[in-house]
Structure 1
């Protein structure tokens, strides 16, 4: 017996065969209730975010500090539910740099990224 036994060859399926194989609807059932809230940021993460804002401010001195902080906060919020926290600061900085770089390239003043 081979894996292909009982399988129709390519090109032998009729449209009726395909219609009968529509996927079942996806049911999102959460028997345990809503997910638990994310853990609070560790002191190391808070320090890493502060250092990150300082580095980004030195890279883009023409961008207001509030804009950089908001960009970092937005990037950080996207990783709020991450269970493995070890790489969150690195991923946040990459995402913030990407957003700031795109904004700088779109503006007439430009900017640099180290």
Structure 2
């Protein structure tokens, strides 16, 4: 399943149309992960690839990236890894993937 489909799986409402761009407005920063967050992303991808062996690796990586991206504006970063992993698992399960029960993580 395409990453774009998984990314919007939990959203049911239509997004409001964006306001016209203001040249003086600050530009929204893209998620720029710290080295610790990058390590968490790699660990999460590895754990989910092992838990969902039937899912393409690129799909798992895109799902995890989308989950982390959804928390890019979180001010408290401590819980982002576990929240992103849970969101990724939910998206993979909603897509019809079955996890290997012997390899399930937290």
Common topology (TM > 0.5): yes
Unaligned stretches of 5+ in structure 2? 1-24
Q: Which has the higher contact order (CA 8 A, sep 6+)?
A: 2
| TM-score between the two structures when normalised by the length of structure 1 | 0.61
CA contact 2:31–2:69 (8 Å) conserved in 1:
no
User: What's the counterpart of residue 42 of structure 2?
Assistant: 50
Aligned equivalent of 2:61: 69
Provide the alpha-carbon RMSD of the alignment: 2.2
| Structure of larger gyration radius | 1
1:89 aligns with 2:81: yes
- For 1:56 and 1:34, the matched residues in 2 are separated by 36
* TM-score calculated relative to the size of structure 2: 0.65
Provide the aligned length of Structure 1 versus Structure 2: 79
Runs of 4+ aligned residues of structure 1 deviating over 6 Å after TM superposition are none
Partner SS, residue 86 of structure 1:
coil
